[in-house]
Structure 1
Amino acid sequence: MRVKMILPALTEATSPLFRPIKYSLFPPLGLATLAGYLEDGDEVTLHDEHVERLSVEDEPDLVVIQAYITSAYRAYAIADDYRARGVYVVLGGLHVTSLPDEAAAHADTVFLGPGEDTWPEFLRAFRAFRRGGPRPPRRYESRSRSLIGAPPTRRDLIRRARYLVPNSLVVSRGCPHVCDFCYKEAFFKGGKSFYTQAVDDALAQIEALPGRHLYFLDDHLFGNQKFAAELFEGMRGMGRVWQAAGTVQSALAPGVLKRARDAGLRSLFVGFETLNPQNLHAAAKYQNLKQDYDQAIRTLHGLGVMVNGSFVFGMDEDDAGVFGRTVDWAVSQGIETATFHIMTPYPDTALYRRIEAEGRLLHRRWDLYDTRHTVFRPRLLTPGQLEDGYWWAYRQFYTWPNILRGAGVKDTLGARARHVAYAGGWKRFEPLWDVLIRARQVGLMLPVLEELLQSFGENRQRQGTAGRVASAEL
């Protein structure tokens, strides 16, 4: 059986100008994971439009397309093209789960939610169909959720040299928290919304990856503290340097966090979202309420862990001053990198239902639901003010004066130099990234990333050792 798996390009990733490096960070891990369920005799190819040109002139037996909201129209166009020539097409992913009726018009079968239970069931039905049996059902909805016994991800299908972070992995699914703007609850409805691999399976996956660097793409790697503590303990001594996402709460849990640092954690993506407690309450971001953001950053930096802060603009209490307040605070805290977003009401989320009920949606042009465009009417800002403020915040945070100001918060010359190198390299050298992306050689920069991340932790450990020696001598 010939199977073609496709990740269509997000609309914002197809600019004829500079190609941002974030679209060449991670390979299509979800599709590679589904490929693991295929049989040895199947011929499977994996195509990521972010890093290669897609040809649709072939006629495989099965086309599998993963759709996000801003790639939905592109996904539908590809699907329609193949179906017009009689190829069986299946669609899955976040957008399909949120709007299955819309997606079903462009597919023979759609998948709602994660596919650990439904994908093997479909494959059995599809093989029987090819032998003359009935067509598979038009819709599969995930109900039984488990990663136990899942086959290994088909990493042999990934073109490693085209990604800065080929060693991305996921050892859990979902998140234990329920925020009203997050897709997670919509994607995992009808079953468990947070579950993990067995620790031994996760460690085996890590051990099989080449090189030193890892990036955990889990929504919340620290969501199950027992699992996280055992995972980090098992990773000690592997010589890895890695990045992940966690909450402010996890940054304030020094026991598990220190285990993570000792296992190689060097950078944590932290969802601060907003500095306004009223916004946090309205968004059901309860895990951030009454948390000391300043202390969380001090704890991470004290352990030699960089911070990538995430912030959302456009919440109901945000006024015209929110952009300046947020950037000033982030720079003053010495946050190495920041990710800004315009609040976006994704379909089938609590936020979408609320904004729609209030008559505040401006349109349903999914290609603009990219957290860079305003798609609803804010309460205290005009749509134009929100977009302008968003772009101003990005430009302002990554100006050289602010990069240097953030670096000045650090307590050693080496730490300041690393801050400048990391923050500047991420946003100030887009022409260089563009050249590497177009040459399909982004992977050449991976050793530089590894060395930079390793140096953060080593510097902090040397300081800690020196402090302990001095204390003992006294």
Structure 2
Amino acid sequence: MRVTMILPALTEATGPARRPVKYALFPPLGLATLAGYLAADDEVALYDEHVEALDLPAMLDARPDLVVIQPYITSARRAYALADAFRAQGAYVALGGLHVTSLPDEAAAHADSIFLGPGEDIWPVFLKEFRDGHPAPRYTSTTRTLAGLPPIRRDLIKRGRYLVPNSIVVSRGCPHHCDFCYKDAFFEGGKSFYTQAVDDALAEIERLPGRHLYFLDDHLLGNRRFAEALFDGMRGMGRVWQAASTVKSVLEPGLLERARDAGLRSLFVGFESVNGGNLPDTLKIQNVGRDYNRVVRRIHDCGVMVNGSFVFGLDHDRPDVFARTVDWAVGAGVETATFHILTPYPGTGQFRRMEAADRIVHRDWDLYDTRHVVYRPHGMTPRQLEDGYWQAYRDFYAWRNIYRGANAHDLPREKLRHLAYAGGWKKFEGAWDLLIRRGHVLDALPLLERTLTAFGRHAAS
């Protein structure tokens, strides 16, 4: 069987404001995971349109038997166009993922089979039925387990096109249920958070070459028992890695230290808002009443860098929220920050509430990219919200604030690491673009590893 798998490019990855290095950072693993279920004699090609241009005429001429496409909301239009082109040539097209689960009827118009929710239980069923000649038009996940998950088909990933090719996922979902979270709706109908067996996760880590790992889990520290066992097993491997967590888990005694001793050097944390009133409204209960300054100090005291995530446009926000957010993050010494305009994704409670209140402006999914205002804000105009979003990025990554953030650290080497990491990520776009265009972005990985390894006074050796 000839199988073609495609991850279409997000609209924000192709527009004039795109940052190529952001989309060449790490390989997504969804399709490579599904490819692990295919037979050894199947011919498989996997394409990530974020890092390679598609030669569609040649792909159509290859006459695949099965085409698997994973749309996200801002790649839906592109995904449907690709699906229609392959179906016109007689290929069987399967669509699955977040957007398909949120809007199944929309997706079904462009597919022969659609998949709702995670694919570990339904994808093998489909493959058997497809080979037997009677696939169903719709498959819905109900059984949630990572037991028996076959090895990811990393041979299909073009490692040289990514800065950090060792991406890994050892869990699914998140134990929390934030009102605006797109992925929460994805796990309806079954468990919303589950992990691999620790031994299976460690075996997957052992397969990966080099030192650096990038955990793509939504909340790696979400199950303390699993996380502690994983980190204990990773001690002594000599790895350095990056991951995501919540402020609640950061404050749990001993857990962050265990992660640090296993090689954690940079942590993505969803602070979301400096306005405390926004948190209960969005069911971000795990952040309510937390001291954000204490969270950042604790992470830094463990020798770990912080990538803070913030959402603008919640109902308690006013035009001063942008400057206040940047001022706090810079003053706390947050190394890198990711800002978002609130986006009510279809399938979420937030979307349903806003739609009922007539606050949704349109359904042009191309603009649901957290860079555009697609609803009616309460505390400011749409123009103020979009302008403030871009201004926050400019201000946070201005050299004066990079220096100010560096000075929030105690030791000279900590200041230097802050300058190198924040400045290197945002201030050398031309160099990143050149490396990507010439196919040498992976050459920068040793520099990243050295920066992560050396960071922090308390980092384990």
Q: Scaled by the length of structure 1, what TM-score is found?
A: 0.95
8 A Cα contact 1:56 1:82, kept in partner: no
Measured in 2, the distance between the counterparts of 1:19 and 1:162 equals 15
How far did residue 434 of structure 1 move?
1.2
Give the total of aligned pairs. 457
Are 1:332 and 1:406, in contact at CA under 8 Å, matched by a contact in 2?
yes
Cross-structure match for 1:405:
404
Alpha-carbon distance, 1:254 to partner: 3.2
Cα deviations by residue, 1:428-462 (Å, 9 ceiling, x for unpaired): 111111112222221111111100000114x4348
Q: Indicate the larger mover: 7-16 or 234-243.
A: 7-16
Note if contact 1:310-1:340 (Cα within 8 Å) is conserved in structure 2.
Answer: yes
1:80-121 Cα shifts (integer Å, max 9, x gaps): 000011110000110000000000000000000000000000
| Residue identity matched to 1:460 | H
Residue of structure 2 equivalent to 1:47: 47
Q: Which residue of 1 aligns with 2:160?
A: 161
**Alpha-carbon distance change, 305 to 56 in structure 1, aligned in 2, over 3 angstroms:** same
**How far apart are the structure 1 equivalents of 2:68 and 2:217?**
23
Cα 1:113–1:425 change in 2 (3 A) is same
Partner of 1:10: 10
Equivalent AA in structure 1 for residue 227 of structure 2: A
Q: Which ranges in structure 1 are unaligned for 5 or more consecutive residues? A: 466-474
Is 1:212 paired with 2:205? no
Q: Secondary structure at the match of 1:460?
A: coil
Per-residue CA deviation, residues 144-184 of structure 1 (Å, 9 max, x unaligned), is: 01001110000011111100111010000000000000012
Gaps of 5+ in 2: none
**Deviation per residue, 1:401-440 (Å, 9 max, x gap):** 0000000011111111110010011111111111122222
1:443 is paired with a residue whose SS is helix
The amino acid that maps onto 1:84 is A
Q: d(CA) in 2 for partners of 1:412 and 1:367?
A: 45
- Contact map agreement 2:354 2:360 (CA 8 A) in 1: yes
Per the alignment, do residues 36 and 312 of structure 1 end up closer, same or farther by CA in structure 2, a change over 3 Å counting? same
Aligned to 1:124: 128
Equivalents in 1 of 2:252, 2:20: separation in Å? 34
Comparing 448-457 with 383-392, which one deviates more in the overlay? 448-457
Question: In structure 2, what is the equivalent of residue 284 of structure 1?
Answer: 283
Alpha-carbon separation, structure 1, partners of 2:18 and 2:444: 17
Asked if 1:328 corresponds to 2:332, the answer is no
* Closer/same/farther in 2, CA of residues 291 and 19 from structure 1, 3 Å limit: closer
User: Is the partner of 2:144 in helix, strand or coil?
Assistant: coil
Q: 2:458 aligned to 450, 457, 460, which one?
A: 460
Give me the whole-angstrom Cα distance separating, in 1, the residues matched to 2:458 and 2:255: 18
- Which residue number in structure 1 is paired with residue 362 of structure 2? 363
Question: Within 5 Å, which residues of 2 pair with 1:241-320?
Answer: 241-320=240-319
Distance 2:16 2:338 in 1: 23
Residue matched to 2:74: 70
Q: Say yes or no: does 1:61 pair with 2:65.
A: yes
1:149 alignment partner, SS class: coil
Distance 1:331 1:395 in 2: 12
Give how far 1:16 is off.
5.4
- Report the secondary structure of 1:377's partner residue: coil
Q: Retained in 2: the 8 A contact 1:172–1:195?
A: yes
The 3-state SS of whatever aligns with 2:391 is helix
Distance in 2 of aligned mates of 1:139 and 1:388: 42
Q: Is residue 260–residue 459 contact of structure 2 (8 Å, CA) maintained in 1?
A: no
Tell me by how many angstroms 1:28 deviates: 2.7
The whole-number CA distance in structure 1 between the counterparts of 2:387 and 2:459 is 42
Query: CA deviation digits over 1:24-64, x for unaligned, max 9?
Result: 11213100000000000000011011111112223101000
Measure, in 1, the Cα distance between the counterparts of 2:439 and 2:23: 12
User: Out of 108, 112, 117, which is 1:113 matched to?
Assistant: 117
Say whether the 8 Å CA contact 1:19–1:437 is kept in structure 2: no
Tell me the amino acid that sits aligned with residue 458 of structure 2: R
**1:185 positional shift:** 1.9
In 2, are the aligned partners of 1:184 and 1:193 still within 8 Å (CA)?
Answer: no
Shift, 1:280, TM fit: 0.2
- Residue 18 of structure 1: how far off its partner (Å): 6.0
Q: Is the 1:222–1:246 Cα contact (8 Å) retained in structure 2?
A: yes
Please state how far the C-alpha of 1:292 moved relative to its aligned partner.
1.1
Question: Once structures 1 and 2 are overlaid, which stretch shifts more, 14-23 or 385-394?
Answer: 14-23
Partners of 2:224 and 2:437 lie apart in 1 by 41
1:87 match: 91
Does 2:97 align with 1:97?
no
Q: Is the 8 A contact 2:171 2:196 kept in 1?
A: yes
Tell me how far apart the structure 2 counterparts of residues 196 and 35 of structure 1 sit (CA, whole Å): 20
Answer whether contact 1:18 1:430 (CA < 8 A) is retained: no
Amino acid in structure 1 at the alignment position of 2:95 = L
**Is this contact kept in 1: 2:397–2:426, CA < 8 A?**
yes
TM-score, reference length from structure 2? 0.98
Contact 1:143-1:190 at 8 Å conserved across structures = yes
Counterpart-to-counterpart distance in 1, 2:228 and 2:208: 21
* CA distances 1:354-395 after superposition (whole Å, capped 9, x unpaired): 111110111100010000000001001111110000000001
Please tell me whether the aligned partners of residues 165 and 443 of structure 1 are also in contact (alpha carbons under 8 angstroms).
yes
In structure 2, distance between residues paired with 1:154 and 1:312: 35
Distance 2:459 2:172 in 1: 32
Q: Which residue number in structure 1 is paired with residue 29 of structure 2?
A: 29
1:260/1:117 CA distance change after superposition, 3 Å: same
Tell me how far 1:21 sits from its aligned partner: 1.2
Distance apart, 1:293 and its partner CA: 0.8
1:140 — aligned with what?
Answer: 139
What is the distance in 2 between the residues matched to 1:401 and 1:389? Answer: 19
Return the letter of the residue paired with 1:27.
Answer: P
Distance in 2, Cα, partners of 1:18 & 1:320: 25
- Does 2:444 correspond to 1:445? yes
Q: Residue 254 of structure 2 aligns to a residue in which SS?
A: helix
CA distance in 1, matches of 2:318, 2:18: 32
For the 8 Å contact 2:12–2:18, the answer to whether it is kept is no
SS in structure 1 of the partner of residue 267 of structure 2: strand
